[in-house]
Every structure is written in structure tokens, then in C-alpha cells.
Amino acid sequence: MNSMERVITSMSHKEPDRVPVFHLFSHYGAKELGISIKEYFSDPGYVVEAQLRMRKKYSNDCLYTFFYAPIEIEAYGGEVVFVEDGPPNSGEPFIKNIDQIVKINPPVIKDSKPLQRVLEATSTLKKSVGDEIPIIGVVMSPFSLPVMQIGFEKYLELMYFRKDEFNQLMSINEAFCVSWANAQLEAGATAICYFDPLASPTMIERPTYLETGHKIAQKTLNQIKGPTATHLASGIGLPIVDDIVATGSAVLGFSGKDDVKAIKERAAGKICLLGNLNGIEMASWDKEKTRIEVKDLIKKAGKGGGFILSDNHGDIPWQVSEDVLLEIAETVKESGHYPIKAEE
Amino acid sequence: MVEKRNLPIDDFLTALLHIDRIKAAEIFEHIYKDDRSFETLEHLTMETLERIGDGWEDGQLSLSQVYMSGIICEELIEQYIPKYKIAFKNKPQIAIAVLLDNHALGKRIVYSVLRAGGYDLIDFGQGLSVEEVVEKTMKEKIDILLISTLMLPSALKVKKVVESLRKEGSSASVVVGGAPFRLDSNLWQKVNADADGKNGTHVKEIIEKWEKEGKNHEFHGASHNINES
């Protein structure tokens, strides 16, 4: 099986040849090429080269065209802060007060240089690999993006007490999210990862989510012209598995803090799980610890398909060693072949 | 003196979780008019916030509920401290900062809980470099420095903060918090922090414990023998 067949089989809740592995490499590509993170993301050619190299090196079953979370903020005219050893972060929120929301327009994709770089990387990768391996594009959910747009504190005020302005910002973000997702699909992305950390009950209580972010996800995902995966970026997912299924997402990125057996049971036949190695802890793992963690996860989550092994945040930290990543690949090759004996 | 009899903790908890400022204020006013002590109000607040913090730890409550509850309690305590003619505690000298990141929610939560607990603390702000945090800590002669981080690279830089503080002759104790420390429960030790502040009420407990250790302690960071995690 090639990577595409392996992934599609698992997403269909059937057992492929082995457990698929998604190493979600974004800024880690700069480490692979030995250049600075800022330089790496300045040229889509670097991203293409690193993605192809890392696919081979780590037996990766996807290519990931995620540059950095605040790239959408950059498209809105906001600030991005680059560091030497981690993902670029958003600077000061560009919406300084709630009254400013009425004046905001969604970015025009063709006019945004950073977004165009992502599309160029996507189309170049597509030309290179065809349908052999899935190319995963990324959008921030309209519901979660405001944490970077206006700051978390003001956003909560908006969500709880300023419904009109909240709805207005959601409309703006929804329009952008849909067009950005569809542009990536047109450029060659196979599927879109919808990052929605605020959907997790770790961040927003479920009743509020159901009234807000859930409805927004249903409406937004319905307009995206391709398969979608919802990623909670380390937030727990177990209490909202069925809610995410109802949004139409085919995959759920779950947390290292989720009970793997319980979430596997709840998701069985309904949604494919993606996760849940703890990326932060991974930075201090050795080979033995890596093998133990990977084997344990495969035993608990692998049976019957519907599972893609990955980290739980959607971005491999710079501090994770190559040895650990190679060990993950080796362990999957050794212990991830179907049929897998489930843990007693 | 703390009077625990008939304290409406459940009602106060419900009011906070429903972001019902009016009901929460009514409960405070009722206790005040009943001639009960400020410590009673403080106990009600901290007991409730502790339950909310624990609820978040075990996945039952959300971060937004923790945040909104802290804000409401802070507002109430700010209102009632003058009524009781008492002052915020300014010893030990405490400061809070977000290292490198601009995401300040975690800092705001801990700040609110400590203010609700009657502590006067300095907010150094967010997006600060290692040098800025060290400079401010030295200038303000801080005893306890609370550092919040969002990303792993920022969390790892706490080690540099501690090293620089010691080099400058500061014995300020460093309490860390934020996502990287939640995801790796040993990380606080790896960066040479003195404690891992899992949530606001936990940070308050750490400070109180250090305060009780008294004269022998004197907030010399390296001497703490508390595994706060």
C-alpha cells in the first residue's frame, strides 16, 4: 500500500497494511535543512524540499503544508514573531478594541504574499507526489482564530457579553476560513486540518461551545470542498467526539490527556482518531521510552483501523530529537502491522 | 476569624460558573451584612476557586470558566477590602510575568486569584525577554516571581531567567505555569524553577506554605523543599 491507500483505508475504519503515521512537521523543516526558521518560511521551495526529505527519512504518511498558526494573522495585517527554536507566534493582537470589529475585512488570498507561499508549496508538492500521499492543508477555525486576533481575555468578553460583535467577527472569519481552505484544496491539498482548540472542553465549556463554535464549525466545514479533520491542539476530545462527528469532520486530533481506550470506543466506526503522542514530553524521550509509548498507543488505538499515529498538538517541537522520530518510524514498522493484538 | 458555618459555597460556585455577577455580589453582600469577617469572605472565595481549579484539572470545567470566576472574585474582593478597612498584603513581594509570549490569559487568572486572596502583586506584563524579566525582578526586589509561558521554547528559557537572577544575587523563588508545564510534569524541575504552579489557588497555597516556613526560609529559592506538583 502507498501512503494514500493506507490513510484512506484507516479513515474508512478498516485495517490497512500498517498503522499510518502523520508526523506533522512545520518549523521542524528548518532544522532538517539547517537554516533559520524565518528563512525557511520565506521560500516555499525550502518547505517543499524539507517535506519531501522528511517524508522519506521518517516514513511519513503525509505532507503537511502548515507554515505557522499566525500566518492568517499576517494576512490580516497582524504581527508574527519568529524565534530561533520554536513555532512563529502571533504578536500583539491587531484588534485593540471590540468596536474595531465592524471595520475589519477578510484578507484577499491573492493579495497576501504569505498565503501565496503556502499555495505555491502545496501545488509544487502536488506536482511532485500526485495521489501517492495525502497533502494536508491547514486553517484556523473562525471560532479559535480570535485568540490571536483580539487576545483571549477580550475574546471571552466578546463571546459571553457582546453577542452582536461576536457574530460579526465569526461571519468575517468564516468567509475567510472557507475561501482559504478551498484555495488550498484547489492548489492540490488532499484534505484540510481545521484547528479548533477552543472546541475542546479544556478551553470552553461544552454548552457554550454547542451554542457557538459547534454551529460555526458545522456551517464552515459544510462549505469546504474536501475532507476535513478537526484538531484540538492538545485539548481533550473525549466529551465532544459525537459533536465533532456531527460537524462532518472525518478525523479528530485528540489529546495526550484523553483516555485512549475510552475515546477509541466512542469514536469506533464514526470518526478516525489522530494522535496522541505528547510532543512536549517527546522532547526528553530516549529510544526506549519512545518504543514503549508507541507500542502502547498502537495496542490501545490501532485495532480495526480508524487511527493515525501522530503527536497530540499538530506540530513536532524543534526540541524533539531526530533519533526519537526515527524510533517512532521503526517501532511502527515493527509493531504497527495489522492484524494488531488489542491490549487485554 | 474564619466562620465556616452555613457558608454558601455551592451557591457561590453556581453563580461563578454561570458568570452571574449579580448573584455572586448578593452572596458577598449578605455575608458582609451578617457582620461576618473578611476572612470568611476570603475563605468562601478561595474554597470556591479551588473547587473550580480542581474541576479544570480533572477535565470537568473549562479554562474560560476558571478565568471568568477569577475575574468576578477579584472584582468582589477589590470592593470589599476597603469596606473592612484592611489592606492588601504586600509581603512577600510578588510579581507575575509572561515570558516571550503575548498570550496573557494564564497570567491574568493567577493574578486574579491572588488578588482575590488579598495579595498585592506587581504585573510585569507580557511578551518580556529574559533580560527584561530579570531587570524588573532585581529593580523591584521581588521575593517570588511567577512566570507564565505558552510555548516550549519560552518555558525552556526559564532556566536562563533563574541563572541570571542567581548571577545578579537575587534569591527570588520562581514559580512556573502554562501549557508546556502542564504537558510535561517534570519540566519545572528541568528549568530549575522552585515550584510548578498548576493553577491560581495552587500558586496561593505554595506562597502560603513558603510564608509559614518563616524566618528560616526568607524566600531563598534554592532552599525550598517542596514538590508542588
Sole residue written with cell 504581527: A79
Domain ranges of chain A: 3-335
pLDDT of residue B120: 93
How much is the average pLDDT of B6-13? 92
Q: Specify the 3-state DSSP secondary structure of A54.
A: helix
- Condensed to tens digits (0 to 9), the pLDDT of residues A80-106 reads 999 999 999 999 999 999 999 999 999
How much is the average pLDDT of B69-73? 93
Assigned CATH for B89-223:
3.40.50.280
Nearest-angstrom CA–CA distance, A320 and A339? 30
**What is the strand order of the sheet B119-128 is part of?**
B119-128, B89-99, B144-149, B173-178, B195-196
Q: Specify the 3-state DSSP secondary structure of B23.
A: helix
Q: Is the pLDDT of residue A169 over 90?
A: yes
Provide the CATH topology of domain A3-335.
TIM Barrel (3.20.20)
What percentage of chain B has pLDDT greater than the value 70? 91
Q: Is the pLDDT of residue B229 over 90?
A: no
Nearest-angstrom CA–CA distance, A11 and A304? 10
Mean pLDDT score across all residues of chain B: 88
Among the partner residues B59, B152, B190, nearest to A202 by beta-carbon distance:
B59
- Condensed to tens digits (0 to 9), the pLDDT of residues B145-190 reads 999 999 999 999 999 999 999 999 999 999 999 999 999 999 999 9
Domain ranges of chain B: 9-83, 89-223
pLDDT band at B102 (very low <50, low <70, confident <90, very high): confident
Q: Show which residues on chain B lie within 8 Å of chain A, measured between beta carbons.
A: 19, 56, 59, 61-65, 67-68, 100-105, 108, 127, 150-154, 156, 179-180, 183-184, 186-187, 190
Among the partner residues B65, B103, B184, nearest to A280 by beta-carbon distance:
B184
Contacts of A90 in chain B (CB under 8 A): 102
Set of cell numbers at residue A321 = 530529537
| Smallest Cα distance from B70 to chain A, Å | 12
pLDDT band at B104 (very low <50, low <70, confident <90, very high): confident
Q: Is the pLDDT of residue B221 over 80?
A: no
Residue pair A251/A273 in contact (Cβ under 8 Å)? The answer is yes
- What is this model's ipTM? 0.91
Question: Which stretch of B32-36, B37-41, B213-217 has the lowest confidence by average pLDDT?
Answer: B213-217
Is there a contact between A317 and B183 if contact means CB atoms under 8 Å apart? no
- Condensed to tens digits (0 to 9), the pLDDT of residues A203-232 reads 999 999 999 999 999 999 999 999 999 999
| Smallest Cα distance from A126 to chain B, Å | 32
Assigned CATH for B9-83:
1.10.1240.10
pLDDT band at B37 (very low <50, low <70, confident <90, very high): confident
Euclidean distance between the first and final Cα of chain A, in Å?
29
Is there a contact between B156 and A319 if contact means CB atoms under 8 Å apart? yes
pLDDT band at B30 (very low <50, low <70, confident <90, very high): very high
Residue pair B194/B224 in contact (Cβ under 8 Å)? The answer is yes
Q: Specify the 3-state DSSP secondary structure of A203.
A: coil
Nearest-angstrom CA–CA distance, A256 and B165? 34
Nearest-angstrom CA–CA distance, B76 and B102? 27
Nearest-angstrom CA–CA distance, A166 and A177? 16
- Mutate one of B21, B152, B181 to test the A interface: name it (highest A CB count within 10 A): B152
| Smallest Cα distance from A2 to chain B, Å | 34
Q: How many CA atoms lie within 13 A of B173 on its CB side?
A: 27
Euclidean distance between the first and final Cα of chain B, in Å?
30
pLDDT of residue B217: 47
Residue pair A202/B62 in contact (Cβ under 8 Å)? The answer is yes
Nearest-angstrom CA–CA distance, A221 and A229? 10
Helical H runs in B34-128?
38-57, 63-83, 105-116
